[in-house]
Amino acid sequence: MVPKNSKRVTIITGHYGSGKTEFAVNYAIKLRQISPKVTLGDLDIVNVYFRSRERKKELEEMGIHVVSSSLEGDSVDIPAVAAIASPVKDKSTKYLVDLGGNDVGTMVLGRLKPLLDSEETDFFMVVNVNRPDTSSPEGILQEMKSLEDASGLRVTGFINNTNLIRETTVEDITMGDKILKEASRLSGVPIKYTTYVEEVVKDIENFPDDLGGELFPLKFYMRKDWM
């Protein structure tokens, strides 16, 4: 599948352990199938592991331009303002932003917010209900409010990325769907996608017909075979 009706700028955030970066990388690759120019911005200043910039070489070989919040070759995040801001101004590119998943991480968005047009921007929250802080509708909404307050943006869609990595089952994802649907009902925020890893979950015909959002198959790009 490829993303349908995607806005020009898509900001992806999510609590630690949600699988946000894996989704962001997969989303960028699928966007490239329908868009001649795609930029992935790694603005995650919180997590030092599983950062999309680690796959810069592979992504650029696929035709995806990668920019990050730190200077090239620097192990410390020093926001490279021009690099992360220019794709917002470039109307010819689809810009996907991988944003840090807590209130500190979203503060970096302050550099971009004045440039963003709400009509062409989506703000997606990736949710894994197997993480303690997002295991209930109330926890999800609390995390969402924290992210919104820090970023100054409103979440426009949930991504159900409920997983147990290589042990994930249809039942796990369906359980996540039920919890996220209640959060969606309470908040009015729609579920945009429900993800599954193709090499792990192979019995997708067993998903319920009323699963929230569109099914979104993933591949492992960030996680090594032994992880």
Q: Are 113 and 152 in contact (CB under 8 A)?
A: yes
Its pTM stands at 0.90
- 62-82: average pLDDT: 65
Question: How much is the mean pLDDT over the chain?
Answer: 87
Rounded Cα distance between 83 and 81, Å, is 6
Q: Which of 112, 55, 124 is nearest to 79 (CA)?
A: 112
The predicted structure's pLDDT at residue 150: 83
User: What's the rounded mean pLDDT across residues 134-139?
Assistant: 97
* Residue 78 confidence (pLDDT) above 50: no
**114 three-state secondary structure:** helix
- Residues 8-32 have a mean pLDDT of 93
- Supply the pLDDT for residue 5: 82
Residue 67 has pLDDT above 70, yes or no: yes
Over residues 103-119, the pLDDT tens digits come to 666 667 777 888 999 99
Q: What is the mean pLDDT of residues 38-51?
A: 72
Distance from chain centroid for Cα 204: 22
